[in-house]
């Protein structure tokens, strides 16, 4: 029992990401309103971003900016302790993923506006009925 509890607590970042991810996935498939689908899509992407960023975390470490880095231009800088700084790579990757998310969101909203102009509704079942006619 204790093992399980320790396991759950040690990975709580993962549970948060998991719950958000499943919420988003469920919404993307089941929601009838296209706007809600897009909102779910954003939640889904945010969950993945959260998952990645939490990979980079490290105990007792600070943000990945070298202290007093700008005084020593490369040559005679102090020794850098790796344990003091978190992993910068996931942050970089997620900056990219955020941008991709924004781009997809913009395109999805434009498509919804167009769908609304053509079908006069953004409810999926009404659109499908409209398509069958």
Partner 1 sequence: MIQNQLPILIIAIPLFCAFFISLSMGKNKTGVYLLLITAMFGSFIASCMTLLQVINSNSPIHYHLGGWQPPFGIELVIDHLSGMVLVLISTIALLTAIYSFHPVRKDISDRAHHYYALFCLLISGLLGMTATGDAFNLYVLLEISALASYALLASSVLAASRGLAYFATFKYLIMGTIGACFYLLGVGYLYIKTGSLNMADLSGLLNSDILLQSVTIKVGFILMIIGVWIKMAFFPLHGWLPNAYSYASTTTSSLIAPLMTKVSVYIMIRLMFSIFSVEYVFHTLPYHQVVIWMACAAIIFGSVSALSQHNLKRMLCYIIVAEVGYMVGGVWLANESGLTGAVYHIFADGMMTLCLFMAAGAFIFKTDRESIHEMTNIFRRMPVTAVVFLVGGFSIIGIPPTCGFFSKWYLITGAIEGGQWLFVASLLFSSLINCIILFRIIEIGYFPKFDSERSTSNEKAVKTNEVPLTMLVPMVITACSLIVIGLYTNEIISVLIRWTIPAGL
Partner 2 sequence: MKLLAFLMTFSVGVLLLIASLDLPDWSNPESPASTHLSPHYIEKSLEETSVPNLVTSVLADYRGYDTMFETVVIFCAGITVLIMLRRTFMGIEKYVKPRPKRESADIILQSAVRLLVPVMQVFALYVVAHGHHSPGGGFQGGVIFGASFILLAIAYDLKVELKKFREHGVLIFSVVGVLIYAGIGIVCLLLGGNFLAYAAWAKMLGISELEAHSLGMLGVEIGVAITVMAIMFSLYADLSSSGDLDEGL
In whole angstroms, how close is the CB of 94 to partner 2 at the nearest point?
10
Residues 6+ apart with CB under 8 A from 29: none
| Position 131 contacts partner 1 (CB under 8 A) | yes
Q: Among partner 1, partner 2, none, what binds residue 62 when CB lies within 5 to 8 Å by partner kind?
A: none
Q: Give, as one character, the DSSP assignment of residue 69.
A: T
Task: Identify any residues that bridge with 85 across adjacent strands, giving them in sequence order.
Answer: 62
Q: CB atoms < 10 A from the CB of 94, how many?
A: 19
- Which residues of this protein are in contact with partner 2, per CB under 8 A? 10-14, 18, 21-22, 25-26, 29-30, 54-61, 63-67, 69-70, 72-74, 77, 80, 82-83, 85, 87-92, 95-96, 99-100, 102-104, 106-107, 109-111, 113-114, 116-118, 120
- The owner of tokens 């700008």 is 70
Of the candidate residues 13, 23, 33, 104, the single one contacting partner 1 (CB under 8 A): 104
């Amino acid at each position: 029992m204790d093992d399980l509890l320790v396991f759950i607590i040690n990975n709580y970042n993962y549970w948060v990401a998991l719950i958000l991810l499943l919420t988003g996935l469920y919404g993307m498939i089941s929601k009838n309103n296209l706007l809600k689908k897009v909102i779910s899509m954003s939640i889904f992407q945010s969950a993945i971003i959260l998952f990645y960023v939490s990979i980079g975390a490290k105990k007792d470490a600070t943000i990945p900016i070298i202290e007093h880095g700008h005084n020593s231009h490369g040559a005679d800088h102090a020794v850098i302790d790796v344990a003091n700084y978190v992993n910068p790579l996931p942050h970089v990757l997620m900056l990219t993923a955020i941008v991709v998310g924004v781009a997809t969101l913009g395109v999805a909203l434009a498509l919804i506006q167009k769908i609304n102009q053509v079908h006069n509704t953004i409810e999926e079942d009404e659109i499908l009925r409209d398509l069958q006619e």
